[in-house]
Structure 1
Amino acid sequence: MLLPCSIEVLTHPGITLSRDEKTKLQDSFCHLGRLCLSPLPKYQVFDKASPTSLDDKVIVVSRCKDEVIAFLSAIWLPITSPDRPLLHSGLTVIHPAHRGSGISLDLYAHLCLHLINKLPDGFWTSTLAAVISSLVNVSIYTTQVFPSPGWSSHQSTGQPSAHHLAIAQEISANHRDKMLISPSAVFDENSFVFRGSNNSDQGESFRKDIDDQLYWHRDQKASAFFRNLLRPNTGDEVLQISYLDPKYLAKHMKSQRFAERYSDRAAKVHPL
């Protein structure tokens, strides 16, 4: 398995880095992006025309021999329904040679452990994706996840709570540009699917074959749950709303899969 040489968390790099450092960082993101996305969208950290494109981001960067091989670029969104910012998981890009190595979970773990040091009570999060493995991972490592297999099995109606719905409606009304959701996409309030989310020139490169099991999680049942929410070849994406609970996350970090790398850090964040 290919493993990253180093992982670094950058908070608001557009504000904290020098101009030359920002240019070098953004160039490295665009270089990796071109290996993974065609055409490269003018979105998020790829938008070099925007002088503030790195300002509001929390970015986790993995490098091997000074080459960026993966990054996760998250963003805080002002949301009024919980009266506190919500973290949108944003954009994750992984070099083709490192896919399937578990690096996406490493990026996510570093992001979460970094943030819960500052927010020990946890925080609400959102994810927008057609990559089924990403949706399954969110349903595993966070709580109060809608939509998810767990929610559907434990809630008699299978419908979102009023709180989940309020957050989702605010995202649909005010934050489509931050998530690259097509203005013409229709939000299904029952399933939390943006129908035609990627039906735009900039969203084209993010469209996935939802039946390609390369993008599925090893949990086939959970993968099938999310597959059934999406229509093939339409640009649909699932919006997940969930809560990152530090105590719940710490239990996962102490599991066999993560213990070697993360259990000590997790114990410092939330002793069990």
Structure 2
Amino acid sequence: MISTLFKTIGRPYLDVTLRSGPDMRVRIIERPGRWMDDAQLAALSADLRHIAARTLDAGSLTYGVFAGDAERMKQVVITLVSRADGTPIAFNALAIMTLATKPAPTEVLHLGLVMVDPIERSKNLSWVLYGLTCFLIFFRRQFRPIWISNVTQVPAVVGMVAQMFSNVWPQPDGGRRTLNHLLFARQIMARHRDVFGVGPDAGFDEERFVITGAYTGGSDDLKKTWDAAPKHRDARFNDFCAATLDYERGDDVIQLGQMDLAAMRKYLRREVPKSAVFALLLTGGLVALRRIILPAVHWADSGRQWKTLRPYKGAGQ
């Protein structure tokens, strides 16, 4: 925890390390392309490729963090799970998309590509890979709601997103499509297809929020058959995907929702293991320290300059 505190205060981006059980470590790295040197970026990319090689039976991915584009790493947040000996076993590459909205641009966190070493899939890592980063960023942004997006054909993931976040559309038997859902989805499909490997020839059904023929833009090797797609324990989500998506063609559903106070409560109550709740809240407090507490401390010291804040009077005046 002490290392987390010093790293968070010392730079403008998240670099948080915490434990997940006795034998795993989780590191959250925000926009590494903006502050890591070439050697650090190369080591991070090697860890991601190691997990991908363990996950994919054949083929390779050519989009996002796998594209070899250093600029891409400036717009991602990597959640990397490793064993205690340093062996990487899972990651989520969450992308930051900026949408042109009024009166100010809106950032949307795309849940991105998630990969887990097959031998580690029984260890309940979904709370780490899908919700943890959004939770900590929500803390750091002083509990302001954060929009999230998700593109998938996997029923287990569709259900997980619908149950973890607030105001999610689409989902079976509930939810409401608002104007923001529609406008955000239109912008994402118009300007950010490369984030999730969807080609320009893929269609978009605005009524159902379905991307038709999605696997032609670099994510080809992620396409699954209905039988191979992991199912959710709640049959509603399986039935929804079976009725909505054409798996032979390669369809995806695009979901939009929010991390807000209601979602945070659900996340802590339903997803996070009881043994990890205290450590997670403490980590969130440390992450928030730089944005909430330190500015107040600096503001109270009127005799020193802090960034754009100037002393009221110079010494001796």
Common fold by TM > 0.5: yes
Question: Contact conserved, 2:77 with 2:95, CA < 8 A, in 1?
Answer: yes
1:157-179 CA distance string (max 9 Å, x none): xxx22211111111111111122
Counterpart Cα distance in 2 of 1:61 and 1:207: 23
Question: More deviation in 214-223 or 173-182?
Answer: 214-223
User: Percent of aligned positions with the same letter in both sequences?
Assistant: 23
Question: Contact conserved, 1:254 with 1:263, CA < 8 A, in 2?
Answer: no
- Considering only aligned residues, what root-mean-square deviation do their CA atoms show, in Å? 2.3
Counterpart Cα distance in 1 of 2:272 and 2:44: 31
Q: Secondary structure at the match of 1:85?
A: strand
Cross-structure match for 1:209: 225
Alignment of 1:43-122 (within 5 A): 43-48=63-68, 50-64=69-83, 65-81=85-101, 83-119=105-141, 120-122=143-145
Question: Contact conserved, 1:253 with 1:263, CA < 8 A, in 2?
Answer: no
Q: Secondary structure at the match of 2:233?
A: coil
Cross-structure match for 1:261: 276
Q: Secondary structure at the match of 2:190?
A: helix
Q: Secondary structure at the match of 2:100?
A: coil
Cross-structure match for 1:31: 50
User: How far 1:250 sits from its partner (Å)?
Assistant: 2.3
Question: Contact conserved, 2:202 with 2:216, CA < 8 A, in 1?
Answer: yes
Cross-structure match for 2:60: 40
Bigger radius of gyration, 1 or 2?
Answer: 2
Supply the AA of the counterpart residue of 1:47.
A
Counterpart Cα distance in 1 of 2:127 and 2:172: 20
Cross-structure match for 1:182: 199
Q: Secondary structure at the match of 1:124?
A: strand
> Where does structure 1 lack aligned partners over 5 or more consecutive residues?
none
Supply the AA of the counterpart residue of 1:94.
V
User: How far 1:204 sits from its partner (Å)?
Assistant: 1.6
1:4-54 CA distance string (max 9 Å, x none): 611111011122222111111101111221222331112111122x12232
Question: Contact conserved, 2:131 with 2:164, CA < 8 A, in 1?
Answer: no
Q: 1:10 aligns with which of 29, 39, 47?
A: 29
Q: Residues 268 and 151 (structure 1 numbering): CA distance in 2 closer, same or farther, change over 3 Å? A: farther
Alignment of 1:116-155 (within 5 A): 116-119=138-141, 120-151=143-174
Question: More deviation in 58-67 or 256-265?
Answer: 256-265
Q: Residues 256 and 54 (structure 1 numbering): CA distance in 2 closer, same or farther, change over 3 Å? A: closer
Cross-structure match for 1:195: 212
Supply the AA of the counterpart residue of 1:56.
Q
Question: Contact conserved, 1:74 with 1:90, CA < 8 A, in 2?
Answer: yes
Cross-structure match for 2:241: 226
Question: Contact conserved, 1:132 with 1:210, CA < 8 A, in 2?
Answer: no
Q: Residues 123 and 188 (structure 1 numbering): CA distance in 2 closer, same or farther, change over 3 Å? A: same
Cross-structure match for 2:258: 243
Q: Residues 31 and 71 (structure 1 numbering): CA distance in 2 closer, same or farther, change over 3 Å? A: same
Counterpart Cα distance in 2 of 1:4 and 1:228: 41
Question: Contact conserved, 1:9 with 1:114, CA < 8 A, in 2?
Answer: no
Give TM-score, length-normalised by structure 2: 0.76
Q: Secondary structure at the match of 1:76?
A: strand
Counterpart Cα distance in 1 of 2:23 and 2:123: 9
Question: Contact conserved, 1:45 with 1:73, CA < 8 A, in 2?
Answer: yes
Q: Secondary structure at the match of 2:245?
A: coil
Q: Secondary structure at the match of 1:225?
A: helix
User: How far 1:203 sits from its partner (Å)?
Assistant: 2.1
> Where does structure 2 lack aligned partners over 5 or more consecutive residues?
1-20, 286-317
Question: Contact conserved, 1:73 with 1:90, CA < 8 A, in 2?
Answer: yes
Counterpart Cα distance in 2 of 1:243 and 1:89: 12
Q: Residues 227 and 3 (structure 1 numbering): CA distance in 2 closer, same or farther, change over 3 Å? A: farther
Counterpart Cα distance in 2 of 1:249 and 1:228: 30
Q: Secondary structure at the match of 2:254?
A: strand
Cross-structure match for 1:173: 190
